[in-house]
Amino acid sequence: MIPPECLIDAYGQGFFPMADPSTGALEWYRPDPRSIIELDGLHISRSLARTLRRGEFSLTTDTCFERVLKACAEPGPEREETWLDHRIAKACQALHHAGMAHSIEAWRDDNLVGGLYGIRIGGAFFGESMFSRPADGGTDASKVCLVWLVSHLQQIGGTLLDVQFMTPHLQRLGAIEISDLAYQARLQTAIGASVRWDVPLQDPSRT
């Protein structure tokens, strides 16, 4: 297992680990440019807005972190292999128990149909992975979790949502790229903030 204190130190400097699924090697990355989602810049499509208004899912936080972690590590239609191996998972579980890693879960008829998880240091949230289960009625569930995450970060005073690498999916959601220099400045400000996660989630469609 990666020592949790090592993981926190790495994230505080802008590094994060990913396991190479073909070799098993643990690699550390600090991309330049870096992808983030501005908390006031999340793009909500019309179809996603309709899903939010219909209230199709019940949202919770930190009720089943390990289940979310396991679901994010499973192969899916757009990811036949995963970078999330047992070493990273165990370190994240330890951070969760220490109050420094969190999940947001989407439920439908008492079934977990989507979620996301990430690591939090102060007012910085490092989004790691998300999943949804359309076959179980979870279409757009991970996107709904992201909307609730952004709303929660705004509510508690978070200032940085790091999403690491740009992808077409993240770009459609409003992610942007900034230089490593700009990222480091924002990172140090964010991790130094005094922020509490454990306040009730609020429905962003009602705020």
CB-based contact 22:135 (threshold 8 Å): no
pLDDT of 82 reads 79
pLDDT digits (tens, 9 = 90+) for 4-40: 999 999 999 999 999 998 898 999 999 999 999 999 9
In whole angstroms, how far apart are CA 101 and each of 50, 75, 135, 189? 30, 22, 28, 19
Cα angle for residues 99, 104, 108 (degrees, 5° grid): 145
Per residue in 36-71, is it b (16+ CB within 10 Å) or e — as a string?
bbebeebebeeebeebbeeebbebbbbeebeebbeb
Q: Sketch out the chain's domains with CATH numbers.
A: 33-74+100-198 (3.40.630.70)
pLDDT digits (tens, 9 = 90+) for 127-179: 999 999 999 999 999 999 999 999 999 999 999 999 999 999 999 999 999 99
Q: Is the pLDDT of residue 96 over 90?
A: yes
Per-chain mean pLDDT for the chain: 94
Q: Is the pLDDT of residue 80 over 60?
A: no
User: Per-residue pLDDT averaged across 42-65, rounded?
Assistant: 96
CB-based contact 84:164 (threshold 8 Å): no
**142 vs 82, more confident:** 142
pLDDT of 40 reads 97
Write out the two tokens for 148.
């609730």
pLDDT of 24 reads 85
User: Per-residue pLDDT averaged across 101-111, rounded?
Assistant: 97
Residue pointed to by tokens 């998880």: 117
